[in-house]
Amino acid sequence: MNGTLTRYLYDQEDIIALFSGPANCQTHAVLHGPGIDQPLAFVKDTNADCHPFNAVGLPIVTLQQDGLGSTTSLISETGGFVRSLFLAERYVYDSFGNPTIQAPDGTPRTTSAFGNPYLFTGREYDPESGLYYYRARYYDPRMGRFLQEDPIRGFLEIPLTQHQYSYVINNPVNRIDPKGKLSASIVAAIVGGVVTLTFVALFVLGTRKTIEKANQLRKQQASCDPEKALEADERFRELVEEEAVPKVKLGIAAASVSQASTPEGQALFLGQETGTAIGEVIEGRKRR
């Protein structure tokens, strides 16, 4: 930046140190949390002695973040042994992540006075190009689009995912994409929907097996004397009401969750399967 080469040291996921200048001096040391894109604090070498870990002389800068993980402010501290905290810098974004960097009094700044690269959703921002680095791709918040195609081609059931350059399917206030490979919340919803459908399918399958068992019992007892037939009929009622009906109710409850978090086609399939099971229960009771 400004004619100075900056080198970044990664731990395979996050930046942990920055080196700059002809002497390749370490200028920043960064601390990250256990989650993805969770920068917590950094130390900047403000006295140019290539030792940012000198905690006595250099202040620790803490990042504050909102619900999306976007940095909203920097909290720094005075130097020396006795230290006090103060607001060092503030950040404001539009919906797609265009940043406005401000001094504590609200005065706009072109770049961070502390060299903080972590802005919208906790991703690294390059003030010269105006781009964010989202690992697999670069993102331009001015257009609200990635500059490269999505490595994941999307899903036919969700047409918005077929757009290869859109950012979080045009819902940046609710979704994130830390890897640059389709919105993380969309993938989570699909995976959650598949898990829910698996459980519901088991409920429906169990219901059908219960009904089959009840019908087999009736067939076996149909040619017997009236007393045994009455016992078989009573057992049929117990199987339907005590086993099949509760399973269908559980399926309906799970379907309501699945419909809210999965594609419409999956929810429709789930409703059809549950309806079929309910119909079998009703028909079984009528035959009884």
Q: pLDDT tens digit string along 181-215?
A: 876 656 655 555 544 555 455 555 555 666 666 66
Query: Higher-confidence residue: 274 or 19?
Result: 19
Q: Which pLDDT belongs to residue 242? A: 64
Average pLDDT, the chain: 76
Query: Higher-confidence residue: 46 or 199?
Result: 46
Range with lowest mean pLDDT among 3-12, 209-218, 270-279? 270-279
Q: Which pLDDT belongs to residue 56? A: 55
Q: Rounded to two decimals, what is the model's pTM?
A: 0.64
Most confident of 147-151, 197-201, 226-230, 232-236: 147-151
268 pLDDT above the threshold of 60? no
CA distance 206 to 204: 5
Mean per-residue pLDDT for 122-142?
A: 95
108-109 sheet: strands from edge to edge: 6-10, 15-20, 25-32, 39-44, 60-65, 71-77, 85-93, 99-102, 108-109
Most confident of 52-61, 66-75, 248-257: 66-75
Q: Encode pLDDT of 96-128 as tens digits.
A: 999 999 999 999 999 999 989 999 999 999 999
Q: Which pLDDT belongs to residue 236? A: 61
Residues facing residue 138 across a β-bridge? 133
Whether residue 58 contacts residue 79, with contact meaning beta carbons closer than 8 Å, is answered with yes
Mean per-residue pLDDT for 122-149?
A: 95
Q: With residue 256 as reference, give the H or E element that holds it.
A: helix 245-261
148 pLDDT above the threshold of 90? yes
> What dihedral angle (degrees, nearest 10) is formed by the CA atoms of 111, 136, 3, 15?
70
Give Rg (Cα) of the chain.
30
DSSP three-state, residue 75 = strand
DSSP three-state, residue 125 = strand
Q: Where are the beta strands (DSSP E) in the chain?
A: 6-10, 15-20, 25-32, 39-44, 60-65, 71-77, 85-93, 99-102, 108-109, 124-126, 131-134, 137-140, 145-146
